[in-house]
Structure 1
Amino acid sequence: MARYVEIHPEDPQTRLIDKVVDHIREGAVVAFPTDSGYAIGCQLGNKDSLERIRTIRKVGAKHHFTVLCSDFAQLGQFVIVDNSQFRLIKQLTPGPYTFILKGTKEVPRMTLNPKKHTIGARIPDHKITQALVSALGEPILSSTLILPGEEEPMTDGWEVNEALGNVLDIVIEGPVGLEGATTVVDMSEGFADVAREGAGSTEMFE
């Protein structure tokens, strides 16, 4: 069964964050709250953990995973961003947006979309998530925690633990910022295309 960890939403306890990060480095698959529902994540480059997430989510090779980054400087190490994209992403982050972009050589090939060589990238506006990414020192590879057959992400830690505690290593209890998945903006072709409407406003794209 998963470890069930309660972390303070405004002042995440360093000792608890560090323990979770240690487990992530050892290959743990973790469910955690974000600014738009729950996400499930692991260390970037861990093939076994990546496959476990694919199995839990029941997604194939074309599924876009997301690198959760602490800030724009870190995001720029893992995705290719031109000047116009830079301005838009800076305007919308941190917040509930995922941007589909070409990955850099820092992103393990197995993580990228096999045909487009793209990956999702985002900077969450959530203190627990930010504490995890900062302590890890690198992005967390993640996917929105939407159960097979459902359309919206899970929003309560106890429900995540009840439904998936037998296949996860850690479930972090904490409030989500907004209900609903992130708004996904595909920028891989050089222009902004809203691929999924979610928690982030799409007004500027209309």
Structure 2
Amino acid sequence: MAAEFIKLYAENPEIRKIERIVDVLRNGGVIIYPTDTIYGMGCDIRNQRAIERVARIKGINVKKSNFSFICYDLSNISEFTRALSTPVFKVMKKTLPGPYTFILEANNNVPKMLNSNKKTVGIRVPDHDIPRLLVKELGSPIITTSIRDEDDVIEYSTDPELIYEKYRDLVDIVIDGGYGQNVPSTILDGTSGVVELIREGLGPIDEIL
């Protein structure tokens, strides 16, 4: 059965459609959704079968995956990470919501969720209402992993209609939130107690490092 293709506007997403998508997530669905950077694929982090399905679609091993979590804000990050140092928390507070992924020390909840031995977790709070509202309505974060393109020139797919054509038989919902970016998030590592740059992406680093 082909995936649903749901149009949502970033500035004022229809709650009825958000609730429909969340219902699919609660039932183990896999979705593709817009963020403030590139389009992502994900599921409810509390659904092990859905996580394994995302890994199969991506062709990766769950235990070796580098999935990140999309959170609504900073308030529930302590559910998944060990205590943050003051310098790292200050940078997160300054930059989030925004196009950044923070690599942090995972607490004991994360390996259980991912069925892995992971010691770290990536945290995203995108500056985009659609994924944040999904997380808020769901009551738990969602996995995020990028939608990559096999094209030698275009690394990331930006057109939701083309994304739908490619993934319609693999996922349950593709959200059309308009054209996405083709630059991923900036990745910052906070595991040492200070913030270090891992990958420069869409998020500027001049004022934070």
Q: CA deviation at 1:149?
A: 7.1
Q: Partner of 2:64: helix, strand, or coil?
A: coil
Separation (CA, whole Å) in 2 of partners of 1:199 and 1:59: 25
- TM-score, normalising length: structure 2: 0.89
Note if contact 1:66-1:143 (Cα within 8 Å) is conserved in structure 2: yes
Q: Partner of 1:37: helix, strand, or coil?
A: coil
The yes-or-no answer on 1:181 pairing with 2:205 is no
Q: State which drifts further: 163-172 or 98-107.
A: 98-107
Match of 2:89 in 1: 86
Q: CA deviation at 1:113?
A: 6.2
Q: What pairs with 1:47-66 in structure 2 (closer than 5 Å)?
A: 47-60=48-61, 61-66=63-68
- TM-score, normalising length: structure 1: 0.90
Which 5+ residue runs of structure 2 have no aligned equivalent?
Answer: none
The yes-or-no answer on 1:3 pairing with 2:4 is yes
Query: Closer, same or farther in 2 for the Cα pair 1:205/1:148, shift >3 Å?
Result: farther
Which 5+ residue runs of structure 1 have no aligned equivalent?
Answer: none
Q: Partner of 2:123: helix, strand, or coil?
A: strand
2:36 aligned partner, one-letter code: D
Query: Closer, same or farther in 2 for the Cα pair 1:185/1:112, shift >3 Å?
Result: farther
Q: Deviations over 1:5-56 (max 9, x none)?
A: 1112211101100010010000000000000010011011322211221122
**Count of residue pairs brought into register by the alignment:** 205
Separation (CA, whole Å) in 2 of partners of 1:113 and 1:76: 19
The sequence identity of aligned pairs, in percent, is: 34
Separation (CA, whole Å) in 2 of partners of 1:74 and 1:156: 32
Match of 2:33 in 1: 32
The yes-or-no answer on 1:196 pairing with 2:199 is yes
Name the Cα RMSD after superposition.
2.1
Match of 2:78 in 1: 76
Note if contact 1:34-1:176 (Cα within 8 Å) is conserved in structure 2: no
Q: 1:95 aligns with which of 98, 110, 122?
A: 98
2:42 aligned partner, one-letter code: G
Query: Closer, same or farther in 2 for the Cα pair 1:194/1:148, shift >3 Å?
Result: farther
Q: State which drifts further: 172-181 or 129-138.
A: 172-181
